[in-house]
Structure 1
Amino acid sequence: MTDDAPAPAADLPGRLSIADTVFEKIALRAALDVDGVVRDGGSVTDRLAGLVGLDSATGANYPKARVQTAGGRPIVVDVDLAVRWPCPVSAVCRQVRSHVADELERLAGDRPARVNVAVAAVLPGAAVARRRQGFVELPAPGPAEPAATGTDEGTSDDDD
């Protein structure tokens, strides 16, 4: 055997750069992995704004994540969540904090010093189930208008 085998990857020169948005996407996915955390798209306007990459001024989409980095390493992660009601909110937040830190370490190679979790919305479980099935909540109908009592002129059932 010869010693011409390539060096292990750790011995190769080079540099790895990970964009802040990648850290944020990892944090978002990790938060959604935790039971009790739900995706909340807000209103139809919010969902349409999200399709074109705009932040909506009328509402919010959850979860949200912001990552502060230093030297290309995640230092502080802020996660805003929507949770399903009923659920043990404090336990869900602890699980999110731990899972986000674990996933950033596993996928990006660095564990953040701090993960802050804030619950920004609580959604009833029934509303979450309807959204998952593709149904959208519509407003309650207003008062019914009375039916027209007159006949349409110019229309007739018999042929002349």
Structure 2
Amino acid sequence: MTGAVPGVPPQPPPADDTPTREIVLGRDAFVERRGRVDVADRVVEKIAGAALGEVDGVDRSGRTKVDADVVGSSVRLSAQVPLVYPSPVAATCDRARAHTVERVHALTGLEVTRCDIVVSALNDPAARKPGTGRELA
């Protein structure tokens, strides 16, 4: 098997590494013949949770909960996120939302139509008992 696309004559790659064939979803007969890919809600939830953990100001030791509702090629996200105190809440949420939307789209191809973020806690790392990750009362 050569990996050739049926109906497309083989061509050498251009010198500047630009794609030899552009695939436009919905208008390309070969793409439509391959089948479809469905991404489960749970998979999107894990991707979004990991993306939230990559944002400065989000408490990685806290509990982040994400709900995803995938419908067709779009998804709505709702997240409960603990932040590190003192973090600027609005700015941190804006960064978290933008990063999560970008990562979910990049990794799944789904369009994020809504991304709600609820700040579930403000955790002060200085108030944690050393070695346990638990806050002191």
User: After TM superposition, is the score higher than 0.5?
Assistant: yes
Match of residue 58 from structure 2: 37
Distance 1:129 1:22 in 2: 33
1:19-98 equivalences under 5 Å are 19-41=40-62, 62-71=63-72, 73-98=73-98
* Structure 1 residue runs of 4 or more that deviate by more than 4 Å after TM superposition: 136-140
Match of residue 119 from structure 1: 119
Assess, with a 3 A threshold, how the Cα gap between structure 1 residues 129 and 76 changes in structure 2: closer, same or farther.
farther
Match of residue 135 from structure 1: 132
Larger radius of gyration: 1
Q: CA deviation at 1:18?
A: 1.1
Q: Tell me, what secondary structure is at the counterpart of 1:24?
A: helix
Instruction: State TM-score, norm by structure 2.
Output: 0.71
Distance 2:93 2:128 in 1: 19
Distance 2:40 2:82 in 1: 25
- Structure 2 unaligned blocks of 5 or more: 6-20, 24-29
Q: CA deviation at 1:40?
A: 4.5
**Percent sequence identity over aligned pairs:** 30
For 1:115, the aligned partner's letter is C
Instruction: State TM-score, norm by structure 1.
Output: 0.61
Conserved 8 A contact 1:86-1:125: no
Instruction: Write out per-residue CA displacement over residues 98-117 of structure 1, whole angstroms, 9 at most, x where no aligned residue.
Output: 01100011000122111001
Q: CA deviation at 1:14?
A: 1.4
Q: CA deviation at 1:34?
A: 0.4
> Over aligned residue pairs, what C-alpha RMSD do you find?
2.7
- Structure 1 unaligned blocks of 5 or more: 42-61, 141-160
Q: CA deviation at 1:137?
A: 4.3
Q: CA deviation at 1:135?
A: 2.5
Q: Tell me, what secondary structure is at the counterpart of 2:87?
A: coil
Q: CA deviation at 1:74?
A: 3.8
Aligned length: 113
